[in-house]
């Protein structure tokens, strides 16, 4: 039996928990995320059943066992938004925007639910054991999913918005020495051809690892979108972060509104929280009072007829909430299939990664089929569209593409995958 020991570090607040939402590390959650990455990165259905198990006909338990060590010692806390001196939620903080559901208070003194989380800058261990039937190819394929989950993915609630980032600091494989005693060999920098600790140029490190993974997981399925078909990674250019002032003047030109998000309350991007706050602000500011969504939503709530109403920014994830203080009412854009409301995770993910040179922020774009066949978008009982030309499926991404292009134009981000030749 092959056994590996992983030393892990929590980078951003981790909201993983049970039914009562108490913070805890759960092997089921970790295993589920590994399985998801394995699927979309090109792992075959046969290999998935073999590695992770199967609950259908001819069920099997899988070849991998995951155990977490040291989680009882991890410190926890209640998430808090940033408030001003009068106890009001700060409107210029991006972390309040991306973490809105984690602290439901609108005033610091309110008694409303706050999610418990596992605090950052703590370490724990994961032990991974493979059944004797697992061969070298099985183990290699599993570590591809592991690389994705920890180096580009996040864990727990609000994972697509940068929370729940965990770094693997060390991977060791258990060896039995000639005298029969156990020993561990460090394979962190060459774990079946993959390097788990960022070193040197971040873009080069990512490209090298992803190119290796594409050689190993090369059996994409017809029924599951292949991640590598439409997958891009952008890195925040920390030296140019002050360009946001020129950027916002351009993207918000002509917009008006009492609560227009046109000012960032930070002044640096040196640590994980700065970066998360900054990236959240960029997303918040781009969507704030954005046409045509804002105007169409207000008219519909006022009972004004709108021909083929468009909600472009629903592409960032559904459901999408609108509230108008002037009307004292609001509603949500829902994705409906029959009578059921569905969720659609955002195709834009925020990732905070810790490299040897410090913290880095990544925007990860993962495009795939956005809506199931025969589904529809509904706002306040009105069917709405993602684009003015709903028959053109390429056009549905225009708001997301516009966001990335605007940031590139102002040198706030740089595309690092796929690497331009």
**What pLDDT shows up at residue 247?**
98
**Comparing 1-5, 92-96, 152-156, which segment has the lowest mean pLDDT?**
1-5
Mean pLDDT of 143-159: 97
Q: Which pLDDT score, from 0 to 100, does residue 110 have?
A: 96
Which regions of 100-181 does DSSP assign to beta strands (E)?
116-118, 123-130, 166-176
pLDDT digits (tens, 9 = 90+) for 104-113: 999 999 999 9
Alpha helices of 155-252 — where are they, by DSSP H?
Answer: 202-216, 244-251
DSSP three-state, residue 215: helix
The size of the chain, in residues, is 421
Tokens of 262: 């046109």
Angle at 241 between CA 236 and CA 243, to 5 degrees: 120
The confidence score (pLDDT) of residue 60 equals 79
What mean pLDDT is reported for the chain? 94
Query: pTM, whole model, 2 decimals?
Result: 0.95
CA distance linking residue 275 with residue 288, whole number of Å: 20
pLDDT tens digits for 37-92? 999 999 999 999 999 998 766 667 899 999 999 888 999 999 999 999 999 999 99
Return the exposure string of 229-250: e unless at least 16 CB atoms fall within 10 Å of the residue's CB, then b.
eebebbbbbbeebeebeebbee
What's the pLDDT score for residue 193?
96
What's the confidence (pLDDT) of residue 160? 97
Q: Does residue 18 carry a pLDDT above 80?
A: no
Q: Which residues contact 298 (CB under 8 A, 6 or more apart)?
A: 322, 324, 327
Among 72, 134, 80, which Cα is nearest to 105's?
80
What's the token pair of residue 253?
Answer: 């030109």
At 56 the pLDDT is 67
- Report pLDDT digits (tens) over 173-192: 998 777 777 888 999 999 99
Q: Give Dmax (Cα) for the chain.
A: 83
Q: What are the pLDDT digits (tens) for 182-227?
A: 888 999 999 999 999 999 999 999 999 999 999 999 999 988 889 9
pLDDT score of 419: 83
> What per-residue confidence (pLDDT) applies to 279?
98
Q: Which domains does the chain have, with CATH numbers?
A: 2-79+115-202 (3.30.70), 232-417 (no CATH)
């Amino acid at each position: 039996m092959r056994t590996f020991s992983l030393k892990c570090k929590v980078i951003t607040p981790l909201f993983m928990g049970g039914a009562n939402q108490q913070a805890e590390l759960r092997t089921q959650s970790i295993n589920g995320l590994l399985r998801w990455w394995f699927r979309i990165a090109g792992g075959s259905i046969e290999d998935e059943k073999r590695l992770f198990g199967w609950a259908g006909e001819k069920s099997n338990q899988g070849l991998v066992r995951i155990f977490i060590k040291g989680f009882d010692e991890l410190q926890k806390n209640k998430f808090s938004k940033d408030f001003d001196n009068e106890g009001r939620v700060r409107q210029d903080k991006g972390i309040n925007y991306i973490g809105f559901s984690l602290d439901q208070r609108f005033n610091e003194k309110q008694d409303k639910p706050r999610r418990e989380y596992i605090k950052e800058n703590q370490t724990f261990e994961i032990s991974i054991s493979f059944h004797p039937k697992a061969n070298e190819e099985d183990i290699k394929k599993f570590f591809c999913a592991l690389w994705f989950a920890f180096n580009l993915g996040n864990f727990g609630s609000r994972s697509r918005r940068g929370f729940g980032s965990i770094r693997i600091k060390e991977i060791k494989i258990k060896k039995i020495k000639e005298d029969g005693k156990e020993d561990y060999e460090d394979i962190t920098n060459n774990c079946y051809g993959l390097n788990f600790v960022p070193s040197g140029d971040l873009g080069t490190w990512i490209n090298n690892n992803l190119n290796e993974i594409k050689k190993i997981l090369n059996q994409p399925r017809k029924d599951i979108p292949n991640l590598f078909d439409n997958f891009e990674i952008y890195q925040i250019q920390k030296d140019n972060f002050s360009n946001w002032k020129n950027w916002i003047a351009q993207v918000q030109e002509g917009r008006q509104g009492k609560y227009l998000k046109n000012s960032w309350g930070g002044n640096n991007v040196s640590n994980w929280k700065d970066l998360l706050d900054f990236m959240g602000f960029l997303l918040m500011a781009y969507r704030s009072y954005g046409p045509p969504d804002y105007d169409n939503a207000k008219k519909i709530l006022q009972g004004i007829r709108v021909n083929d109403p468009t909600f472009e920014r629903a592409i960032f994830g559904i459901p999408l909430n609108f509230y108008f203080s002037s009307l004292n009412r609001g509603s949500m854009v829902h994705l409906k299939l029959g009578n059921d409301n569905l969720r659609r995770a955002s195709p834009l993910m925020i990732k905070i990664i810790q490299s040897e040179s410090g913290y880095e922020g990544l925007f990860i774009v993962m495009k795939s089929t956005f809506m199931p066949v025969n589904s529809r978008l509904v706002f306040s009982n009105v069917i709405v569209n993602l684009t003015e030309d709903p028959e053109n499926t390429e056009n549905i991404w225009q708001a997301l593409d516009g966001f990335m292009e605007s940031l590139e134009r102002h040198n706030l981000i740089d595309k690092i995958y796929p690497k331009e030749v």
